[in-house]
Structures are given as C-alpha cells and as structure tokens.
Structure 1
Amino acid sequence: MKVISFAFFSALCFSASAQPVMETGSQKPMPETWIDATTHHTVVRLTNKPGNNASFYFHNNPFVGNKMVFYSTDSTNGRQMYTVDLNTRKLEQVTHQASPMNGEILATKGHNVYYQMKDSVFVTNVDSKQTKLIYVFPADFKATVATVNANETLLGGYRSSDAEREIYRLNPEKHDYFNKIYEARLPRTLFVIDINSKQLKPIFTDSAWLNHVQFSSTDPNLLMFCHEGPWHKVDRIWTIDVRDANKGKVQLMHKRTMENEIAGHEWFSSDGKTIWFDQQLPRGTNFYVGGVNVKTLEEKKYKLDRNEWSVHFTTSPDQKLFAGDGGDPGQVAKAPDGMYIYLFTPEGDHFKATKLVNMKHHNYKLEPNVHFSPDGKWIIFRANFEGQSEVYAVKI
C-alpha cells in the first residue's frame, strides 16, 4: 500500500507551539487549529465552509489518494459531496445534484463515488467530476445500495418491504421504530448489481432485518451483513459468498456465549482477514473489542474500561492501533467520564487508552465516527461542539 505523506499536517506539528491551548468547544467558533487543553493533542478543522459538514460512517472508507470525501449541506447547494485535500485543506465540490442523494460508497480503484437518488444509482468520478447513471431499480424492487466490492465490479445492498417502510413512516424516531421493525420479522433481500452489465441479482432473503451491508476490503466476493435489532437478542454478524449465495451458505461469524451478550458495529480490517466488533459480556458490564478470523473463525478480544467504551471503534491502516469515539453517560456503558476521542494500543489481552480530544461540549446524538488518516498519524471525526456539524482531525 502506498503511504501518503500529509505535508500540511506535518507542518502543523512543527508549529504546534504557536497554536492556542484551549478547551475544545469552549467557544463558538473555535480557531481552525488548536491544542486540546485536556489532552495536549493538536486538533484541526478540516471542513472550513458554511453549512453542516459530515464525514462518512465509521466502516465506510472516505479516502481516495490524499483526499477525503465528505457530505456538506448548505443553503446554496443543498446536500452534496465534496473532497478535502489532506495536504492543503483545499475543498472541491464533487456532485451537483438537485435531488436528495444518499450513499457513502467510495471505490478507491477507480476514484468513484456511488450514490442513490430515489430509484436511480449514479456514479461520479472524484477527479474528473464526470457523472453517469448506473442503474434504475424496477418499480417492483424498491431497494438501497450500500457498498461496492474491492475490485469495483459489484454494488451490494438490500431490499425492504412496503410494510417496513410504513413502520418507518409512522415511527420516524429510532427509539420508536427500532423494536417494531425487529419484532415484525419482515423479509429483506440482499442483492448485487453488476456494474458493467447493469444486471441485478438477488442473493439472499430472510425474515429478518438484514442491515449494515459491507463488502470485504479485499475479497470481492465476500459480503458481510448483520441481523439488526436489540443486540442482546440477536446473533448479529454474518457473511455470504455472493458467487454461491443461498440460505445454506451464509456464515455466522460470532455466536453469543451468554445471556445478554452483545456483539455489533462490525467492520473489516484493512487486509480483509478479520472482522472486528464491539463486544460486551454481558451487555453494559464487561467491555471488549472482539475480532474473528474470516477463514478460520478463530477469535480474540481486547478488554477496555467502562469509560473507554465507544459508540464505534476502528483500526489503523497497519492494524497496530485502534481508535474509538467515546460515549456519553446515557449510552449503553453508562460511562461517567467517557466523552473523548480515544487511541487504543493493544497490550496483551487489553487496550492501553490515550485520550486525544475532550468531547464534553459535543452532543452524542451526532455520532463522531472515527477514521484513521491513510498515513495512520491522525484520527478524523465529526462533531458539533461549535454548534454545527464539522469534520476534524486530531494528531496522534
């Protein structure tokens, strides 16, 4: 893998002594760069433009070369995708769509972003900004694309029922619809679309809430999905080979071992060999990041303290480090002092935690969704401690 040097970020390190030392979020706005008064780590705002700016969900890769793709919503352009150059912080608008668009699907091979507007799937090249129509769903197959495979030949997604959409319509808040959809046991279908032939192929249907669809980071035929619902009630993490997809071929990746155990917010390692996940034995009591080998199903786990539990975790490109986005006292860990961006270093069977950003002024209704920068030297996250949503990077 090519290692990219982030010259602008490096320059900030040399001038760190010139940056103000401040409590993060103590004023609105914050300067573009500051040193967190609690952790003494340098924080940089990456998205210096009007509107609300949001980085991708934690398991969706946002990087292509030295650029990061993100969404921005403003009164002039609506919700569009942009890139920020991690060397210079220069912003470029990638999409110019008049209709609402959804999707965080970036193909590093072709430098393409895929997204959906109503029943149509489009692709825009990050470099040329050229846009093409990829696929239009039939009227009797209302579905959502969610992921692209490693060699950019297939898109993957799920089809939900009209009955499920009606539950969403009547119960727009997550705390209202979540249990209702789980208990309804309505059918969902996983599918793939061949990007070249434009052919859609349903691959698996179950009377379960199939969600969090992710292609492997390296194996173009391996698709991961979850059984969504209350985590302590579901064996959540599954995979399927899209070449031989039938109900007998799905693979449960981790079976719960005790009552109220949970395992979720799963993601592939950069080499595709491991699926990592938040694990609690049982729920809200003992906290781990667990991992399972994709081929052998051998498992490992690292213990962490209650305050170090995070809404989402992730791994560095070289797989030597982990990061987490913390959580507030109202979340599952009930952590009294967990509102930090964390760096985790494995030591034996546990993590050694380093606090990077004090998030006491952040409202965790917006999940920070941490990503390592491609060079592994910064953690990128989103936050609202300035009032609006912005994307930041903190120096490890």
Structure 2
Amino acid sequence: MKGDTYVFNRTSFRDPLTGVELIRLTDNKAIYDRPYFTTTQFTRDGRYTIFVSDFTKTSVVKNPNAPAIGKVGFGELFLLELETGKALQLTQGEAVKMGHGAHGMIAPDGKTVYYYSNEELKETDVRTLESKVLMHIPNTYNFHSLSMTDDCRYVAFSLVEELPLLTAGFSAPLSEAAPGARERFFKRPGSLVLRYDRKKKSCEAIYGGHERITHVGLAPGEGDRLLFCNDGPWHLVQRMWTVDALTDEVKPLFLQQKYLEQIGHEFFTPSGRIGAQYSFRYRADMPFFQHADIFMDFDGKNQERFYYPYDRPGHISVAVNERQGIGDTCMLSENQPDSRRYLSLIHYDSQGHRAEPYLLCAHDTSGKKSAHVHPVFTPDGSHILFSSDKEGLLNIYMVEADWSKARRTI
C-alpha cells in the first residue's frame, strides 16, 4: 500500500575476477526497473533513488489495449534509501511502464517524483504522498525521456505518435534496436519536445517534427537549453540536436557523415557539457572500426574525443569529475569473446585522447533490451548502480567504483 516501507533481503557477493563487492539491492522476486540512464534518478546528496516494480500487485492498467501501452510490464513507484535498503511505496493503483527504463524520475531536491501512468503525467510529494495530475497525455503517444533542471523548475520529455509496425514481430530478442526500429524510422512519426514549467504550472511545445524524437535532456543549470535526438539507425540519421527555447534556434550538434559515422546515447554531463558515443568507418560496406566517446559544449565547440583501443561499450555515463566513466562492456583485447559480460571503469586520458577501460566486475545480464545494464554513478562518484537479470528477474545492483581492484587484463 502507498506509504508502506519494505526492507529487501540484500545479497552481497564478490566478483570472482576482481574481488570487488557487489550488492543486490532487490530480492529477485519481481521485476525492479530503474529509470533510463540519462534520466534524473538520484537526490543531490546521493541518499535516495527510485525504481518501479510490480511486487505489490497493486498496479492498475486502465486501458490494456491502447496502441502505445506496451506489454513489458507495469508497476508502482518506490523511493529507495541506498544505505539501508528501505523502499517507500509512493503510488497506489498506478501503471508506470517498465522495460528499457521505467517512466519515472525523482527531483534533485528529493521532494517530488514524476511519472507517466494511464494517460497522465503526475507529480507525487515524497513527504505527504499526495499526488496531482500535471497534464493529460493520450496513450496514442509513446512517452519518452523525463529530464529536470537542477533547480527543479522545469520538466522535459518527448512524445512520439504510435504507429502500427508490420516488422516488429521479426526482431531478434537480443537486438540493440527497438522492435520495428527501421520501419518506424522510415514512416517518420510525428513527435513533440515538451517542457513543463512547475512555477507557472503550464506546458509548452519547444520543438516538433516528423522524426522519432527521444533522449530529451535539459541542461542542468538552466531550462532554456535542451538536447534531443532524432532516433533511428545511427548511421542513417542526423541524430544529435540542440534547441534554445528563448530563440527557437534548433541546430545539429554534430554533423554526421551519412553511412560512415554513427553517434548516439547523448546526454548532459554534470557541468552542462554534452557527451555521446561515436563510431566511424571508411566505407558503408565495412564494419565500424574506430570507436570513441565525444564531449563538447552546447554550441558544439571545444570538442574532445577519447578513442577506445577496441570496441566501445553500448551505454556509458560519467562521474561528477567528468574524467571517469562507466560502461556496460569491457573489451581489453582484440578478440575477447565475453566483453559484454563486464562493467568497465573508463579513464579519459586528455593527453593521449584515449578512453582506457578497466574491468570492474561481471554484470552477466541476458542482453535483452528490457534488461540493459544502464550503469550510472552515484552523485559523488563513489558507487555505481546497474541493472541485470542474471539471477532470473531484473534486479538492481550496486558496486563500489574501486579503481584499485579494476583490471587492465584478464
């Protein structure tokens, strides 16, 4: 019930390769889904995060046949205290979508949470547990990418029209792409970037078009600078864009060479720079062979590239110092067959322009899109949260960012 506190039976074990301690924060009795890795998901002091789960069996889906409702699972929203493992149930009878990142977010000040449920964008007060509807959003739209400014004034997200997809049923279970991704890209659905102003209690469209717009992010320090992507096959789409809400200027952040370059998983760093993952090839009929993480200012200037010795991780995020990263893959040699099993601590070497991976531990997730690892640092950079279904169900794990135990070789 809303307001109930649960204490999970946390399990601690050591990685057999590095000896680093891992803690399973949840109990492997249900699905426990964290927000997407670019979504605001910690309080500033690092004490709390949120997750969505169906273990209470109280979630209610009002229209299970709606076009954009999805079939990956729904749950209630919980506040998790990392030190104690106590989980406070924040909602009752909601249907917060799970799978590839839960549709929830916590404000940096820890006072409120935000989530999309049953055609409504809602806010819940963490102290009183009172909920209110911010706006109605028809479930003919797919909802994406909650983001918030550090001052907690603005909330941003995107909406994408749902389309029938003839090819979705032919997608491979472990594919990195969403089912029917190429078909959706070619159909060019209508999309909107929206920004809700908590001070004015109003919402406005910042941008829109006939592309699948996702990965909306607000610059941490202000609400007028936004980042978004035109989603689709990375080598076909001009993906990274910025928009200035004051002037309505919309610009490509990084001009890609079609077919030859791919760049994506864009995000704001703690200081307000933009990071992304990059790959290059000389010809369209060859595999991508150069891989890097790229960081640049909002206007695209002062670009830094850090090249990996081999393949790059599938998802990365950076610590508060922005010279350390965490990735969901660790390739330490050219022909390493099991690189996708491991988390990598990444050192960004400015002198040599290198991204240097260190193997931290195994995550051993299945690789399903609904069980992506999506590792993130806690606000102080001391620990890492990640997801894995290695014990059967999707659980949340925590590991110390211990460079002294991370390895350069296997």
For the criterion TM > 0.5, the same-fold answer is yes
1:364 partner letter = G
Per the alignment, residue 49 of structure 2 pairs with 68
C-alpha separation between the residues in 2 aligned to 1:305 and 1:150? 35
- Residue 357 of structure 1: CA displacement? 1.3
Q: Does 1:167 align with 2:164?
A: yes
- Residue 257 of structure 1: CA displacement? 4.4
Per the alignment, residue 393 of structure 1 pairs with 398
C-alpha separation between the residues in 2 aligned to 1:302 and 1:371? 19
C-alpha separation between the residues in 1 aligned to 2:196 and 2:49? 25
- Residue 236 of structure 1: CA displacement? 0.7
C-alpha separation between the residues in 2 aligned to 1:294 and 1:368? 27
Per the alignment, residue 77 of structure 2 pairs with 81
Per the alignment, residue 313 of structure 1 pairs with 316
Q: Does 1:337 align with 2:318?
A: no
C-alpha separation between the residues in 1 aligned to 2:139 and 2:19? 56
C-alpha separation between the residues in 2 aligned to 1:70 and 1:112? 14
C-alpha separation between the residues in 2 aligned to 1:142 and 1:388? 28
User: Cα deviations across residues 322-364 of structure 1 (Å, max 9, x unaligned)?
Assistant: 1101189xxxx996231201101122311222211123x4201
2:337 partner letter = P
Per the alignment, residue 353 of structure 1 pairs with 357
Query: How many positions carry a matched residue from both structures?
Result: 353
Greater fraction helix: 1
Q: Percent identity?
A: 20
C-alpha separation between the residues in 2 aligned to 1:141 and 1:154? 24
- Go from structure 1 to structure 2 and tell me whether the alpha carbon gap of 1:206 and 1:258 turns closer, same or farther (over 3 Å shift): closer
Q: Does 1:297 align with 2:318?
A: no
Structure 2: gaps of 5 or more residues: 1-8, 60-74, 172-176, 282-286, 402-410
89-98 or 372-381, which deviates more: 89-98
Q: Secondary structure at the match of 2:220?
A: coil
- Residue 123 of structure 1: CA displacement? 0.5
TM-score (norm 1): 0.81
TM-score (norm 2): 0.78
Query: Do the aligned partners of 1:311 and 1:367 also contact (CA within 8 Å) in 2?
Result: no
Q: 2:18 aligns with which of 39, 57, 63?
A: 39
Per the alignment, residue 52 of structure 1 pairs with 31
1:32 partner letter = T
Per the alignment, residue 185 of structure 1 pairs with 188
Query: Do the aligned partners of 2:113 and 2:125 also contact (CA within 8 Å) in 1?
Result: yes
Q: Secondary structure at the match of 1:183?
A: helix
- Go from structure 1 to structure 2 and tell me whether the alpha carbon gap of 1:169 and 1:233 turns closer, same or farther (over 3 Å shift): closer
- Residue 153 of structure 1: CA displacement? 2.6
Structure 1: gaps of 5 or more residues: 1-29
What pairs up with 1:78-227 in 2 under 5 angstroms? 78=59, 79-101=75-97, 103-109=103-109, 111-137=111-137, 144=143, 146-161=146-161, 165-168=162-165, 171=168, 176-227=179-230
- Residue 134 of structure 1: CA displacement? 1.5
2:295 partner letter = G
Q: Secondary structure at the match of 1:167?
A: coil
